[in-house]
Chain A
Amino acid sequence: MSVSVRGLSYARGNFRLRIDSLEFESGRLTSIVGPNGAGKTTLLMCLGGLLAVPRNRIFIQGRDIASLKDAERARLVSSVPQEHNPIFNYSVLDFVVMGRAAHLSLFSLPSAEDVRLAEESLAFVGLQSFASRPYFELSSGERRLILIARALAQRADVLLLDEPTSFLDPKHEIEILELTRKLAVERGQTILLTLHNLDMAIKYSDSLVFMKNGGVFASGRPRDILSDALLESVYDVRMKIVDCEGQKLILR
Protein backbone atom coordinates (compact mmCIF):
# COMPACT_ATOMS: atom_id res chain seq x y z
CA MET A 1 0.00 0.00 0.00
CA SER A 2 1.24 3.43 -0.86
CA VAL A 3 -0.52 5.22 1.97
CA SER A 4 -2.02 3.62 5.08
CA VAL A 5 -3.74 5.22 8.02
CA ARG A 6 -4.30 3.27 11.22
CA GLY A 7 -6.12 4.46 14.30
CA LEU A 8 -5.56 8.14 13.57
CA SER A 9 -7.11 10.63 15.93
CA TYR A 10 -6.55 14.34 15.67
CA ALA A 11 -8.36 17.00 17.64
CA ARG A 12 -8.48 20.71 17.05
CA GLY A 13 -10.89 22.78 19.12
CA ASN A 14 -14.27 21.09 19.09
CA PHE A 15 -13.45 19.15 15.96
CA ARG A 16 -12.14 15.62 16.11
CA LEU A 17 -10.83 13.57 13.22
CA ARG A 18 -11.00 9.84 13.87
CA ILE A 19 -10.01 7.27 11.30
CA ASP A 20 -9.73 3.58 12.14
CA SER A 21 -8.23 2.35 8.92
CA LEU A 22 -7.81 3.72 5.42
CA GLU A 23 -5.54 2.64 2.59
CA PHE A 24 -4.64 4.13 -0.78
CA GLU A 25 -2.99 2.30 -3.64
CA SER A 26 -0.46 3.73 -6.03
CA GLY A 27 -1.59 4.42 -9.57
CA ARG A 28 -5.04 5.30 -8.27
CA LEU A 29 -6.95 8.53 -7.97
CA THR A 30 -9.08 8.82 -4.86
CA SER A 31 -11.50 11.64 -4.14
CA ILE A 32 -12.34 12.52 -0.57
CA VAL A 33 -15.87 13.91 -0.49
CA GLY A 34 -18.36 14.96 2.14
CA PRO A 35 -20.03 18.00 3.62
CA ASN A 36 -18.15 21.08 4.83
CA GLY A 37 -16.48 20.50 8.17
CA ALA A 38 -16.38 16.72 7.69
CA GLY A 39 -12.59 16.72 8.11
CA LYS A 40 -11.48 16.33 4.49
CA THR A 41 -8.86 19.05 4.59
CA THR A 42 -7.69 18.02 8.06
CA LEU A 43 -7.16 14.46 6.82
CA LEU A 44 -5.19 15.75 3.86
CA MET A 45 -3.06 17.93 6.11
CA CYS A 46 -2.35 15.01 8.43
CA LEU A 47 -1.31 12.88 5.45
CA GLY A 48 0.92 15.65 4.14
CA GLY A 49 2.71 16.00 7.47
CA LEU A 50 1.43 19.55 7.91
CA LEU A 51 -0.18 18.76 11.26
CA ALA A 52 1.63 17.00 14.06
CA VAL A 53 0.32 13.44 14.29
CA PRO A 54 1.48 10.78 16.76
CA ARG A 55 3.81 8.02 15.67
CA ASN A 56 2.69 4.83 13.97
CA ARG A 57 -0.52 6.30 12.60
CA ILE A 58 0.29 7.29 9.04
CA PHE A 59 2.61 5.30 6.78
CA ILE A 60 3.69 6.40 3.35
CA GLN A 61 5.44 3.68 1.39
CA GLY A 62 5.89 1.82 4.63
CA ARG A 63 7.53 4.71 6.46
CA ASP A 64 5.99 6.36 9.49
CA ILE A 65 5.72 10.03 8.52
CA ALA A 66 5.78 11.21 12.14
CA SER A 67 9.35 9.95 12.46
CA LEU A 68 10.63 11.50 9.23
CA LYS A 69 12.43 14.80 8.86
CA ASP A 70 10.58 17.48 6.87
CA ALA A 71 12.76 17.04 3.80
CA GLU A 72 12.52 13.23 3.92
CA ARG A 73 8.76 13.39 4.18
CA ALA A 74 8.50 15.93 1.38
CA ARG A 75 10.33 13.54 -0.96
CA LEU A 76 7.52 11.01 -0.39
CA VAL A 77 4.47 13.23 -0.33
CA SER A 78 3.70 16.64 -1.83
CA SER A 79 0.72 18.87 -1.10
CA VAL A 80 -0.98 21.34 -3.40
CA PRO A 81 -2.63 24.06 -1.31
CA GLN A 82 -6.06 25.33 -2.21
CA GLU A 83 -4.69 28.78 -2.70
CA HIS A 84 -1.41 30.65 -2.64
CA ASN A 85 -1.45 34.31 -1.60
CA PRO A 86 1.50 35.81 -3.37
CA ILE A 87 3.36 38.58 -1.56
CA PHE A 88 6.48 38.73 -3.70
CA ASN A 89 6.04 38.58 -7.44
CA TYR A 90 8.28 35.67 -8.43
CA SER A 91 8.55 34.54 -12.01
CA VAL A 92 6.75 31.28 -12.77
CA LEU A 93 9.99 29.32 -13.14
CA ASP A 94 11.46 30.71 -9.90
CA PHE A 95 8.20 29.72 -8.25
CA VAL A 96 8.11 26.17 -9.61
CA VAL A 97 11.77 25.51 -8.86
CA MET A 98 11.00 26.03 -5.14
CA GLY A 99 9.43 22.59 -5.31
CA ARG A 100 12.99 21.23 -5.37
CA ALA A 101 13.70 22.42 -1.81
CA ALA A 102 13.33 18.94 -0.31
CA HIS A 103 16.15 17.70 -2.53
CA LEU A 104 18.55 20.53 -1.75
CA SER A 105 20.66 21.08 1.34
CA LEU A 106 20.33 24.19 3.49
CA PHE A 107 23.00 26.27 1.77
CA SER A 108 22.65 25.12 -1.82
CA LEU A 109 21.05 26.77 -4.83
CA PRO A 110 19.00 24.87 -7.41
CA SER A 111 21.27 23.34 -10.03
CA ALA A 112 20.73 23.21 -13.79
CA GLU A 113 19.20 19.79 -13.25
CA ASP A 114 16.71 21.23 -10.72
CA VAL A 115 15.76 23.92 -13.20
CA ARG A 116 15.32 21.28 -15.90
CA LEU A 117 12.98 19.29 -13.63
CA ALA A 118 11.00 22.45 -12.92
CA GLU A 119 10.69 23.14 -16.64
CA GLU A 120 9.60 19.58 -17.23
CA SER A 121 6.88 19.97 -14.59
CA LEU A 122 5.75 23.18 -16.22
CA ALA A 123 5.57 21.39 -19.56
CA PHE A 124 3.51 18.62 -17.95
CA VAL A 125 0.83 21.10 -16.93
CA GLY A 126 1.05 22.66 -20.39
CA LEU A 127 2.51 25.99 -19.33
CA GLN A 128 6.12 25.71 -20.53
CA SER A 129 5.81 29.06 -22.30
CA PHE A 130 4.96 30.74 -18.98
CA ALA A 131 8.43 30.29 -17.41
CA SER A 132 9.37 33.97 -17.32
CA ARG A 133 5.88 35.34 -16.70
CA PRO A 134 5.33 37.06 -13.32
CA TYR A 135 3.03 35.12 -10.99
CA PHE A 136 0.87 38.19 -10.34
CA GLU A 137 -0.28 38.25 -13.96
CA LEU A 138 -1.67 34.72 -13.98
CA SER A 139 -5.38 33.92 -13.91
CA SER A 140 -6.64 31.76 -11.04
CA GLY A 141 -6.85 28.72 -13.33
CA GLU A 142 -3.23 29.21 -14.39
CA ARG A 143 -2.19 29.71 -10.77
CA ARG A 144 -3.69 26.35 -9.83
CA LEU A 145 -1.74 24.68 -12.62
CA ILE A 146 1.48 26.37 -11.50
CA LEU A 147 0.88 25.17 -7.93
CA ILE A 148 0.50 21.65 -9.30
CA ALA A 149 3.68 22.05 -11.35
CA ARG A 150 5.55 23.12 -8.20
CA ALA A 151 4.33 20.02 -6.38
CA LEU A 152 5.35 17.86 -9.34
CA ALA A 153 8.86 19.32 -9.28
CA GLN A 154 9.07 17.85 -5.77
CA ARG A 155 9.03 14.36 -7.36
CA ALA A 156 7.08 12.69 -4.56
CA ASP A 157 4.98 9.64 -5.36
CA VAL A 158 2.00 10.75 -3.33
CA LEU A 159 0.25 13.93 -4.41
CA LEU A 160 -2.40 15.55 -2.21
CA LEU A 161 -4.62 18.25 -3.66
CA ASP A 162 -6.99 20.27 -1.52
CA GLU A 163 -10.01 21.28 -3.59
CA PRO A 164 -7.95 21.80 -6.74
CA THR A 165 -10.98 22.80 -8.79
CA SER A 166 -12.86 25.15 -6.47
CA PHE A 167 -13.84 28.46 -8.08
CA LEU A 168 -12.68 27.31 -11.52
CA ASP A 169 -14.62 27.39 -14.77
CA PRO A 170 -15.62 24.02 -16.30
CA LYS A 171 -12.74 24.08 -18.78
CA HIS A 172 -10.08 24.50 -16.12
CA GLU A 173 -11.88 22.09 -13.82
CA ILE A 174 -11.75 19.36 -16.47
CA GLU A 175 -8.16 20.25 -17.39
CA ILE A 176 -6.98 19.80 -13.81
CA LEU A 177 -8.87 16.57 -13.26
CA GLU A 178 -7.58 15.12 -16.56
CA LEU A 179 -4.10 16.09 -15.47
CA THR A 180 -4.37 14.35 -12.08
CA ARG A 181 -5.84 11.29 -13.85
CA LYS A 182 -2.83 11.27 -16.18
CA LEU A 183 -0.46 11.39 -13.21
CA ALA A 184 -2.11 8.33 -11.69
CA VAL A 185 -2.30 6.34 -14.92
CA GLU A 186 0.94 7.30 -16.65
CA ARG A 187 3.25 7.90 -13.74
CA GLY A 188 1.66 5.50 -11.30
CA GLN A 189 1.39 8.19 -8.64
CA THR A 190 -0.99 8.02 -5.71
CA ILE A 191 -3.41 10.91 -6.13
CA LEU A 192 -5.68 12.08 -3.33
CA LEU A 193 -7.95 15.03 -3.73
CA THR A 194 -10.83 16.66 -1.93
CA LEU A 195 -13.74 17.65 -4.13
CA HIS A 196 -17.20 19.12 -3.79
CA ASN A 197 -18.40 18.39 -7.29
CA LEU A 198 -19.77 14.84 -6.95
CA ASP A 199 -20.39 14.34 -10.67
CA MET A 200 -16.75 15.01 -11.38
CA ALA A 201 -15.60 12.93 -8.43
CA ILE A 202 -17.57 9.96 -9.76
CA LYS A 203 -16.33 10.44 -13.29
CA TYR A 204 -12.62 10.76 -12.53
CA SER A 205 -11.97 8.72 -9.37
CA ASP A 206 -10.93 5.13 -9.00
CA SER A 207 -12.31 5.23 -5.51
CA LEU A 208 -14.26 7.52 -3.26
CA VAL A 209 -13.99 8.22 0.44
CA PHE A 210 -17.13 9.70 1.99
CA MET A 211 -16.43 11.59 5.19
CA LYS A 212 -18.82 12.91 7.79
CA ASN A 213 -18.32 14.33 11.29
CA GLY A 214 -14.59 13.65 11.30
CA GLY A 215 -14.86 10.01 10.31
CA VAL A 216 -15.04 7.82 7.22
CA PHE A 217 -18.67 7.10 6.34
CA ALA A 218 -18.04 4.84 3.37
CA SER A 219 -15.24 4.10 0.95
CA GLY A 220 -14.69 2.04 -2.17
CA ARG A 221 -15.12 2.06 -5.93
CA PRO A 222 -17.87 4.45 -7.03
CA ARG A 223 -20.04 1.77 -8.64
CA ASP A 224 -19.78 -0.46 -5.56
CA ILE A 225 -20.78 2.05 -2.94
CA LEU A 226 -22.86 4.74 -4.60
CA SER A 227 -26.54 4.81 -3.77
CA ASP A 228 -29.21 7.43 -3.27
CA ALA A 229 -29.48 6.37 0.36
CA LEU A 230 -25.72 6.82 0.97
CA LEU A 231 -25.71 10.32 -0.50
CA GLU A 232 -28.73 11.32 1.52
CA SER A 233 -27.26 10.10 4.78
CA VAL A 234 -23.89 11.77 4.12
CA TYR A 235 -25.22 15.14 3.01
CA ASP A 236 -28.63 15.24 4.74
CA VAL A 237 -30.14 16.30 1.43
CA ARG A 238 -32.27 14.19 -0.88
CA MET A 239 -30.28 13.22 -3.95
CA LYS A 240 -30.85 10.94 -6.88
CA ILE A 241 -28.27 9.28 -9.10
CA VAL A 242 -29.27 9.07 -12.76
CA ASP A 243 -27.54 7.52 -15.75
CA CYS A 244 -27.20 9.89 -18.64
CA GLU A 245 -25.37 8.83 -21.81
CA GLY A 246 -23.23 6.42 -19.80
CA GLN A 247 -22.29 8.96 -17.16
CA LYS A 248 -23.64 9.11 -13.63
CA LEU A 249 -25.15 12.43 -12.70
CA ILE A 250 -26.56 13.51 -9.41
CA LEU A 251 -29.84 15.35 -9.17
CA ARG A 252 -30.52 17.30 -6.04
Chain B
Amino acid sequence: MAFALPVVVFIISLNIGSYPISPRMLFKVILSVFSPSSQPGLPAALKDIVFQIRLPRLLLAVAVGATLSVSGASLQALFKNPLVNEYILGISSGSAFGAAVSLVFLGKGFPPQIVAFVFGIAAVLAVLIIARTSGSHIVALLLTGIIVSAFFSALLALVEFFASPYALQALFYWLMGNMSLATWRDLALSTPLMAVGVILLIMLRWRMNVLSMSDQEAKAMGISVRREKILIIVACTLATAAATAVTGIIGWIGLVVPHLVRMVVGVDNRRVIPLSASLGASFLLAADALARSLASFEIPLGIFTSLIGIPFFLFLLKKSRRVWL
Protein backbone atom coordinates (compact mmCIF):
# COMPACT_ATOMS: atom_id res chain seq x y z
CA MET B 1 0.00 0.00 0.00
CA ALA B 2 2.83 2.35 0.88
CA PHE B 3 4.07 2.00 -2.67
CA ALA B 4 0.79 3.31 -4.09
CA LEU B 5 1.35 6.65 -2.37
CA PRO B 6 3.70 8.12 -5.00
CA VAL B 7 1.27 7.08 -7.74
CA VAL B 8 -1.63 8.88 -6.06
CA VAL B 9 0.43 11.99 -5.34
CA PHE B 10 1.74 11.89 -8.91
CA ILE B 11 -1.76 11.90 -10.40
CA ILE B 12 -2.89 14.70 -8.10
CA SER B 13 0.21 16.76 -8.88
CA LEU B 14 -0.43 16.45 -12.61
CA ASN B 15 -3.56 18.55 -12.08
CA ILE B 16 -1.83 21.27 -10.10
CA GLY B 17 0.06 24.26 -11.43
CA SER B 18 -0.20 27.82 -12.66
CA TYR B 19 -2.65 26.42 -15.18
CA PRO B 20 -4.88 23.95 -13.27
CA ILE B 21 -6.12 21.05 -15.31
CA SER B 22 -9.16 19.16 -14.05
CA PRO B 23 -8.94 15.38 -13.79
CA ARG B 24 -11.51 15.14 -16.60
CA MET B 25 -9.42 17.25 -18.93
CA LEU B 26 -6.32 15.35 -17.94
CA PHE B 27 -8.00 12.09 -18.81
CA LYS B 28 -8.99 13.55 -22.20
CA VAL B 29 -5.43 14.71 -22.86
CA ILE B 30 -4.02 11.29 -22.08
CA LEU B 31 -6.69 9.64 -24.21
CA SER B 32 -5.85 11.91 -27.12
CA VAL B 33 -2.38 10.40 -27.30
CA PHE B 34 -3.73 6.98 -28.03
CA SER B 35 -6.43 8.10 -30.47
CA PRO B 36 -5.92 11.71 -31.57
CA SER B 37 -9.22 11.77 -33.48
CA SER B 38 -11.36 10.92 -30.46
CA GLN B 39 -10.81 14.25 -28.71
CA PRO B 40 -11.50 17.05 -31.20
CA GLY B 41 -11.24 20.60 -30.03
CA LEU B 42 -8.69 19.92 -27.33
CA PRO B 43 -6.31 22.89 -27.12
CA ALA B 44 -2.84 21.97 -28.31
CA ALA B 45 -1.34 24.03 -25.48
CA LEU B 46 -2.95 21.69 -22.99
CA LYS B 47 -1.10 18.74 -24.46
CA ASP B 48 2.16 20.66 -24.29
CA ILE B 49 1.60 21.58 -20.66
CA VAL B 50 0.96 18.00 -19.71
CA PHE B 51 3.61 16.28 -21.79
CA GLN B 52 6.38 18.83 -22.22
CA ILE B 53 6.24 20.66 -18.92
CA ARG B 54 4.44 18.79 -16.20
CA LEU B 55 5.21 15.14 -16.93
CA PRO B 56 9.03 15.44 -17.13
CA ARG B 57 9.00 17.62 -14.07
CA LEU B 58 6.99 15.15 -12.02
CA LEU B 59 9.03 12.17 -13.17
CA LEU B 60 12.15 14.05 -12.17
CA ALA B 61 10.61 14.79 -8.76
CA VAL B 62 9.93 11.07 -8.29
CA ALA B 63 13.49 10.10 -9.21
CA VAL B 64 15.17 12.86 -7.18
CA GLY B 65 12.95 12.34 -4.14
CA ALA B 66 13.65 8.61 -4.11
CA THR B 67 17.37 9.17 -4.73
CA LEU B 68 17.96 11.66 -1.94
CA SER B 69 15.92 9.68 0.60
CA VAL B 70 17.45 6.31 -0.21
CA SER B 71 20.99 7.75 -0.22
CA GLY B 72 20.34 9.43 3.11
CA ALA B 73 18.98 6.24 4.69
CA SER B 74 21.90 4.21 3.30
CA LEU B 75 24.57 6.62 4.50
CA GLN B 76 22.97 6.71 7.95
CA ALA B 77 23.25 2.93 8.20
CA LEU B 78 26.76 2.89 6.76
CA PHE B 79 28.15 5.55 9.09
CA LYS B 80 26.14 4.23 12.04
CA ASN B 81 24.83 7.71 12.62
CA PRO B 82 21.30 8.96 12.10
CA LEU B 83 22.53 12.52 11.49
CA VAL B 84 24.54 11.81 8.37
CA ASN B 85 23.27 12.57 4.88
CA GLU B 86 24.55 13.41 1.40
CA TYR B 87 24.91 17.05 2.33
CA ILE B 88 26.88 16.47 5.53
CA LEU B 89 29.33 14.16 3.76
CA GLY B 90 30.04 16.82 1.14
CA ILE B 91 28.51 14.84 -1.73
CA SER B 92 25.90 17.50 -2.49
CA SER B 93 28.21 20.50 -2.51
CA GLY B 94 30.92 18.58 -4.37
CA SER B 95 28.41 17.57 -7.03
CA ALA B 96 26.94 21.06 -7.19
CA PHE B 97 30.38 22.55 -7.73
CA GLY B 98 31.10 19.95 -10.43
CA ALA B 99 27.83 20.64 -12.21
CA ALA B 100 28.42 24.40 -12.02
CA VAL B 101 31.92 24.05 -13.49
CA SER B 102 30.48 21.95 -16.26
CA LEU B 103 27.66 24.43 -16.99
CA VAL B 104 29.87 27.49 -16.99
CA PHE B 105 33.03 26.17 -18.66
CA LEU B 106 31.86 23.26 -20.79
CA GLY B 107 28.54 24.75 -21.85
CA LYS B 108 24.99 23.52 -21.66
CA GLY B 109 25.56 20.90 -24.33
CA PHE B 110 27.90 18.84 -22.18
CA PRO B 111 26.11 16.59 -19.67
CA PRO B 112 26.88 18.08 -16.21
CA GLN B 113 26.34 14.70 -14.52
CA ILE B 114 29.89 13.57 -15.34
CA VAL B 115 31.77 16.40 -13.68
CA ALA B 116 29.20 16.41 -10.85
CA PHE B 117 29.96 12.76 -10.12
CA VAL B 118 33.73 13.32 -10.23
CA PHE B 119 33.57 16.13 -7.69
CA GLY B 120 30.93 14.36 -5.58
CA ILE B 121 33.32 11.42 -5.20
CA ALA B 122 36.26 13.78 -4.63
CA ALA B 123 34.37 15.55 -1.84
CA VAL B 124 33.28 12.39 -0.02
CA LEU B 125 36.77 10.89 -0.36
CA ALA B 126 38.29 14.07 1.04
CA VAL B 127 35.89 13.89 3.98
CA LEU B 128 36.63 10.23 4.68
CA ILE B 129 40.41 10.58 4.37
CA ILE B 130 40.66 13.69 6.53
CA ALA B 131 38.25 12.24 9.11
CA ARG B 132 40.27 9.02 9.26
CA THR B 133 43.60 10.73 9.93
CA SER B 134 41.95 12.58 12.79
CA GLY B 135 40.82 9.43 14.53
CA SER B 136 37.72 8.42 12.53
CA HIS B 137 35.47 9.52 15.36
CA ILE B 138 31.98 10.51 14.29
CA VAL B 139 32.47 14.09 15.46
CA ALA B 140 35.56 14.27 13.25
CA LEU B 141 33.49 12.97 10.34
CA LEU B 142 30.71 15.53 10.79
CA LEU B 143 33.15 18.39 11.29
CA THR B 144 35.19 17.40 8.27
CA GLY B 145 31.98 17.11 6.26
CA ILE B 146 30.98 20.64 7.18
CA ILE B 147 34.45 21.98 6.36
CA VAL B 148 34.67 20.21 3.00
CA SER B 149 31.14 21.37 2.14
CA ALA B 150 32.11 24.93 3.00
CA PHE B 151 35.23 24.60 0.84
CA PHE B 152 33.24 23.45 -2.17
CA SER B 153 30.65 26.15 -1.57
CA ALA B 154 33.48 28.70 -1.68
CA LEU B 155 34.75 27.18 -4.92
CA LEU B 156 31.23 27.39 -6.26
CA ALA B 157 31.07 31.07 -5.36
CA LEU B 158 34.32 31.49 -7.30
CA VAL B 159 32.74 29.86 -10.35
CA GLU B 160 29.78 32.23 -10.00
CA PHE B 161 32.21 35.13 -9.83
CA PHE B 162 33.76 34.16 -13.15
CA ALA B 163 30.50 33.26 -14.87
CA SER B 164 28.94 35.60 -17.40
CA PRO B 165 25.82 37.44 -16.15
CA TYR B 166 23.62 35.25 -18.27
CA ALA B 167 25.16 31.99 -17.06
CA LEU B 168 25.08 33.35 -13.53
CA GLN B 169 21.35 33.80 -13.57
CA ALA B 170 20.76 30.25 -14.74
CA LEU B 171 23.29 28.96 -12.25
CA PHE B 172 21.76 30.82 -9.36
CA TYR B 173 18.28 29.61 -10.17
CA TRP B 174 19.43 26.03 -10.56
CA LEU B 175 21.45 26.07 -7.35
CA MET B 176 18.47 26.95 -5.20
CA GLY B 177 17.02 23.59 -6.05
CA ASN B 178 14.77 23.81 -9.02
CA MET B 179 12.87 21.49 -11.25
CA SER B 180 10.93 23.95 -13.35
CA LEU B 181 13.51 23.74 -16.10
CA ALA B 182 13.28 19.96 -16.34
CA THR B 183 13.21 18.69 -19.88
CA TRP B 184 12.98 15.20 -21.34
CA ARG B 185 16.67 15.52 -22.18
CA ASP B 186 17.63 16.11 -18.52
CA LEU B 187 15.46 13.22 -17.60
CA ALA B 188 17.00 10.90 -20.18
CA LEU B 189 20.50 11.68 -18.91
CA SER B 190 19.95 11.66 -15.18
CA THR B 191 17.19 9.16 -14.52
CA PRO B 192 19.15 6.05 -15.56
CA LEU B 193 22.03 7.06 -13.28
CA MET B 194 19.67 7.67 -10.36
CA ALA B 195 17.87 4.40 -11.07
CA VAL B 196 21.12 2.41 -11.09
CA GLY B 197 22.18 3.91 -7.77
CA VAL B 198 18.81 3.51 -6.08
CA ILE B 199 18.25 -0.05 -7.32
CA LEU B 200 21.74 -1.05 -6.19
CA LEU B 201 21.07 0.42 -2.75
CA ILE B 202 17.70 -1.30 -2.50
CA MET B 203 19.36 -4.60 -3.38
CA LEU B 204 21.96 -4.05 -0.64
CA ARG B 205 19.34 -3.17 1.99
CA TRP B 206 19.83 -6.14 4.31
CA ARG B 207 23.60 -5.84 4.05
CA MET B 208 23.21 -2.34 5.46
CA ASN B 209 21.77 -3.80 8.66
CA VAL B 210 25.00 -5.72 9.19
CA LEU B 211 27.11 -2.72 8.16
CA SER B 212 25.33 -0.60 10.76
CA MET B 213 27.05 -2.69 13.44
CA SER B 214 30.61 -1.69 14.40
CA ASP B 215 33.13 -2.36 11.61
CA GLN B 216 34.76 -5.03 13.71
CA GLU B 217 31.49 -6.85 14.32
CA ALA B 218 30.58 -6.68 10.65
CA LYS B 219 33.98 -8.09 9.71
CA ALA B 220 33.63 -10.88 12.28
CA MET B 221 30.31 -11.75 10.66
CA GLY B 222 32.03 -12.17 7.30
CA ILE B 223 31.42 -8.81 5.66
CA SER B 224 34.23 -7.32 3.56
CA VAL B 225 33.56 -4.00 5.22
CA ARG B 226 35.82 -1.76 3.15
CA ARG B 227 34.70 -3.12 -0.19
CA GLU B 228 31.00 -3.00 0.59
CA LYS B 229 31.25 0.48 2.08
CA ILE B 230 32.93 1.75 -1.10
CA LEU B 231 30.20 0.14 -3.21
CA ILE B 232 27.46 1.86 -1.21
CA ILE B 233 29.22 5.24 -1.19
CA VAL B 234 29.74 5.07 -4.97
CA ALA B 235 26.06 4.16 -5.51
CA CYS B 236 24.93 7.05 -3.28
CA THR B 237 27.29 9.50 -4.97
CA LEU B 238 26.31 8.41 -8.47
CA ALA B 239 22.62 8.88 -7.77
CA THR B 240 23.04 12.10 -5.78
CA ALA B 241 25.38 13.65 -8.37
CA ALA B 242 22.89 12.86 -11.14
CA ALA B 243 20.10 14.41 -9.07
CA THR B 244 22.12 17.50 -8.15
CA ALA B 245 23.23 18.02 -11.75
CA VAL B 246 19.63 18.66 -12.83
CA THR B 247 17.95 20.09 -9.74
CA GLY B 248 20.67 21.80 -7.71
CA ILE B 249 20.88 21.22 -3.98
CA ILE B 250 17.64 20.05 -2.42
CA GLY B 251 18.36 19.67 1.25
CA TRP B 252 16.77 17.91 4.19
CA ILE B 253 14.95 15.18 2.32
CA GLY B 254 17.75 12.69 2.95
CA LEU B 255 17.46 13.38 6.66
CA VAL B 256 13.73 13.90 7.17
CA VAL B 257 12.31 11.06 5.07
CA PRO B 258 14.34 8.13 6.49
CA HIS B 259 13.56 9.34 10.02
CA LEU B 260 9.86 9.48 9.30
CA VAL B 261 10.02 5.97 7.89
CA ARG B 262 11.90 4.67 10.94
CA MET B 263 9.36 6.25 13.28
CA VAL B 264 6.65 4.23 11.61
CA VAL B 265 8.21 0.89 10.66
CA GLY B 266 11.32 0.58 12.84
CA VAL B 267 14.97 0.50 11.86
CA ASP B 268 15.20 -2.67 9.73
CA ASN B 269 16.67 -1.47 6.44
CA ARG B 270 14.84 -4.21 4.55
CA ARG B 271 11.81 -1.96 5.03
CA VAL B 272 13.45 1.43 5.60
CA ILE B 273 15.25 1.60 2.23
CA PRO B 274 12.35 0.76 -0.12
CA LEU B 275 9.88 2.80 1.91
CA SER B 276 12.26 5.77 1.90
CA ALA B 277 12.22 5.59 -1.89
CA SER B 278 8.44 5.61 -1.93
CA LEU B 279 7.95 8.29 0.71
CA GLY B 280 10.80 10.42 -0.67
CA ALA B 281 9.23 10.40 -4.14
CA SER B 282 5.83 11.35 -2.67
CA PHE B 283 7.35 14.03 -0.46
CA LEU B 284 9.17 15.78 -3.28
CA LEU B 285 6.18 15.53 -5.62
CA ALA B 286 3.97 17.14 -2.98
CA ALA B 287 6.57 19.77 -2.11
CA ASP B 288 6.98 20.64 -5.77
CA ALA B 289 3.21 20.84 -6.28
CA LEU B 290 2.94 23.20 -3.30
CA ALA B 291 5.97 25.23 -4.40
CA ARG B 292 4.37 26.00 -7.75
CA SER B 293 0.82 26.61 -6.52
CA LEU B 294 1.01 28.34 -3.12
CA ALA B 295 2.12 31.73 -4.39
CA SER B 296 1.64 33.63 -7.60
CA PHE B 297 5.34 33.06 -8.28
CA GLU B 298 7.22 29.80 -8.02
CA ILE B 299 9.11 29.24 -4.77
CA PRO B 300 12.47 27.53 -5.46
CA LEU B 301 12.10 23.94 -4.34
CA GLY B 302 15.36 23.74 -2.39
CA ILE B 303 14.31 26.68 -0.27
CA PHE B 304 10.80 25.31 0.05
CA THR B 305 11.87 21.83 1.24
CA SER B 306 14.10 23.40 3.87
CA LEU B 307 11.32 25.71 4.96
CA ILE B 308 8.87 22.85 5.51
CA GLY B 309 11.39 20.13 6.24
CA ILE B 310 13.11 21.68 9.21
CA PRO B 311 10.06 22.74 11.27
CA PHE B 312 8.31 19.48 10.40
CA PHE B 313 11.32 17.53 11.56
CA LEU B 314 11.58 19.49 14.81
CA PHE B 315 7.88 19.03 15.42
CA LEU B 316 8.18 15.27 15.04
CA LEU B 317 11.29 15.14 17.13
CA LYS B 318 9.47 16.83 19.96
CA LYS B 319 6.21 15.01 19.59
CA SER B 320 7.45 11.48 19.15
CA ARG B 321 7.93 9.71 22.45
CA ARG B 322 8.94 6.47 20.84
CA VAL B 323 12.60 5.67 20.55
CA TRP B 324 13.13 4.92 16.92
CA LEU B 325 16.83 5.41 16.33
Contact = CB atoms under 8 A, between A and B. Distances in A.
Interface of A: 48-50, 69-75, 78-79, 81, 84-85, 87-91, 94, 98-99, 101-104, 106-110, 134, 136, 150, 154
Contact of A102 (B216, B221, B267): B221
B210 A50 contact: no
B221 A84 contact: no
Given A81-B216, A89-B325, A74 B222 contact: yes
Contacts of B217: 81, 84
Contacts of A70: 219, 222-225
6 contacts: A81-B214, A84-B213, A91-B268, A98-B210, A102-B221, A106-B228
B268 A90 contact: yes
B161 to A, nearest CB: 42
B222 A102 contact: yes
Interface stretch (B64-72, B201-209, B236-244, B301-309): B201-209
A71 B268 contact: no
A88 B212 contact: yes
Contacts of B225: 70
Contact of B268 (A74, A94, A102, A103): A94
B213 A79 contact: no
B203 A81 contact: no
A75 B222 CA distance: 8
Contacts of A88: 77, 80, 82, 212, 267, 325
Given A87-B325, A106-B204, A106-B207, A50 B268 contact: no
Nearest to B206: A109
A104 B223 CA distance: 10
Contacts of B224: 69-71
A49 B82 contact: no
B110 interface: no
Contacts of A106: 204, 207, 228
Interface in B188-208: 203-207
Interface string B284-302: 0000000000000000000
Interface of B: 77, 80-82, 203-207, 209-210, 212-214, 216-225, 228, 266-268, 270, 323-325
A134 B262 CA distance: 13
Given A70-B219, A98-B221, A87 B80 contact: yes
B154 to A, nearest CB: 33
B214 A84 contact: yes
A214 B81 CA distance: 35
A74 B214 contact: no
A87 B82 contact: yes
Contacts of A84: 213-214, 217
Contacts of A72: 222
A110 B206 contact: yes
A150 B82 CA distance: 24
Given A87-B212, A101-B210, A71 B222 contact: yes
A70 B77 CA distance: 20
A244 to B, nearest CB: 38
B203 A74 contact: no
Given A89-B325, A107-B203, A48 B220 contact: yes
Nearest to B207: A106
Question: Which of A70, A88, A89 has the most chain B CB atoms closer than 10 A to its own CB?
Answer: A88
Contacts of A87: 80-82, 212, 325
Nearest to A72: B222
Nearest to B218: A101
A160 B325 CA distance: 30
Contact of A74 (B209, B216, B221): B221
Contacts of A90: 209, 266-268
Nearest to B203: A107
B210 to A, nearest CB: 5
Contacts of B206: 104, 108-110
Contacts of A109: 205-206, 270
A74 B225 CA distance: 13
A99 B209 CA distance: 11
